[in-house]
């Protein structure tokens, strides 16, 4: 009588093994998860390798092209910790949730190249998803480059969540246009926008 080979572990169990590897100093097991057929395992593997300080730059960049938006989004999140790696590819992603996280990560980098800056300006003013515009405006504020100021000012007349973030993003800037935007925000119909403006003007 022949016996069947053991069944492969379920994706949830494989994910658990990979996650534990990130806490147990086992980069080989974590790295194997990068090639798992299940997106949640691949995403967990990225986090595990980052936790171990063992994530290679080429491995992170490879996940920018992962077929799963879940993995690309996780790669964008991890990418916030690697300022030497540009988020430009993910800022052009077809999935808005990936673009949103890539914009946030770019803001965490604080210093970006012109291609990233130009793309963030474009996203802040033209993207259909308000969450992307909000994240892009916030990133432009964190970067603090004067070229991003017009996009931030445009955000001050966007939807309430974008306005709130745009007002806070004005912090590094000065000038008449900034003063006018803050004065308008002080009487905004949204109380959180008003609060953000009060916090800046009273500082």
Whether residues 53 and 98 fall in one domain: no
Could you list the residue range(s) of the whole structural domain that residue 14 is in? 7-83
Whether residues 90 and 51 fall in one domain: no
Is the separation of the CB atoms in 116 and 145 below 8 Å? no
Number of domains present in the structure of the chain: 2
The DSSP 8-state label assigned to residue 178 in this structure reads: H
Mean pLDDT score of the chain: 94
CA distance 55 to 27: 9
CA distance 9 to 13: 6
111: number of CA atoms within 13 Å, CB side? 3
Res. 1: pLDDT tops 70: no
Q: What is the DSSP string of 93-155?
A: -SSHHHHHHHHHHHHHH----HHHHHHHHHHHHH-S-HHHHHHHHHHHHHH--GGGHHHHHHH
Tens of pLDDT along 61-100? 999 999 999 999 999 999 999 999 999 999 999 999 999 9
Query: Smallest Cα–Cα separation from 90: which of 120, 51, 111, 50?
Result: 120
Res. 115: pLDDT tops 70: yes
Mean of pLDDT values over 40-54: 97
Q: Cα-flanking dihedrals φ and ψ of residue 183, to 5°?
A: -65, -40
Predicted pLDDT at 157: 97
Q: Please give the distance of CA 27 from its chain centroid, rounded to a whole number.
A: 25
Whether residues 72 and 160 fall in one domain: no
Res. 5: pLDDT tops 70: no
Q: Please give the distance of CA 140 from its chain centroid, rounded to a whole number.
A: 13
Res. 8: pLDDT tops 80: no
Res. 203: pLDDT tops 80: no
Res. 11: pLDDT tops 90: no
Q: pTM for the whole thing?
A: 0.91
Predicted pLDDT at 57: 97
Tens of pLDDT along 162-181? 999 999 999 999 999 999 99
Res. 152: pLDDT tops 90: yes
Residue 102 lies inside a defined structural domain of this protein: yes
Residue 190 lies inside a defined structural domain of this protein: yes
Q: Is 200 helix (H, G, I), strand (E, B) or coil?
A: helix
Whether residues 153 and 77 fall in one domain: no
Mean of pLDDT values over 6-29: 88
Decide which of 51, 83, 115 is a domain's last residue. 83
Whether residues 16 and 33 fall in one domain: yes
Query: Smallest Cα–Cα separation from 138: which of 97, 111, 171?
Result: 171
- Banded model confidence at residue 7, pLDDT cuts 50, 70, 90: very low
Q: Is 64 helix (H, G, I), strand (E, B) or coil?
A: coil
């Amino acid at each position: 009588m022949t016996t069947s080979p053991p069944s492969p572990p379920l994706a949830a169990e494989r994910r658990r093994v990979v996650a534990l590897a990130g806490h147990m100093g086992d980069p080989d097991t974590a790295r194997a998860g990068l090639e798992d057929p299940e997106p949640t395992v691949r995403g967990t593997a990225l986090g595990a390798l980052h936790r171990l300080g063992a994530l290679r730059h080429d491995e992170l960049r490879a996940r920018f092209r992962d077929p799963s938006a879940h993995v690309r989004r996780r790669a964008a999140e991890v990418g916030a910790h690697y300022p030497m790696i540009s988020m430009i590819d993910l800022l052009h992603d077809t999935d808005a949730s990936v673009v949103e996280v890539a914009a946030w990560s770019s803001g965490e980098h604080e210093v970006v190249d012109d291609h990233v800056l130009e793309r963030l300006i474009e996203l802040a003013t033209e993207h259909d998803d308000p969450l992307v515009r909000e994240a892009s405006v916030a990133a432009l504020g964190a970067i603090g480059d004067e070229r991003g100021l017009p996009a931030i000012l445009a955000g001050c007349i966007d939807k309430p969540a974008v306005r709130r973030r745009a007002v806070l993003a004005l912090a590094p800037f000065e000038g008449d246009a900034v003063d006018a935007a803050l004065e308008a925000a002080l009487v905004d119909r949204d109380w959180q926008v008003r609060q953000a403006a009060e916090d800046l003007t009273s500082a």
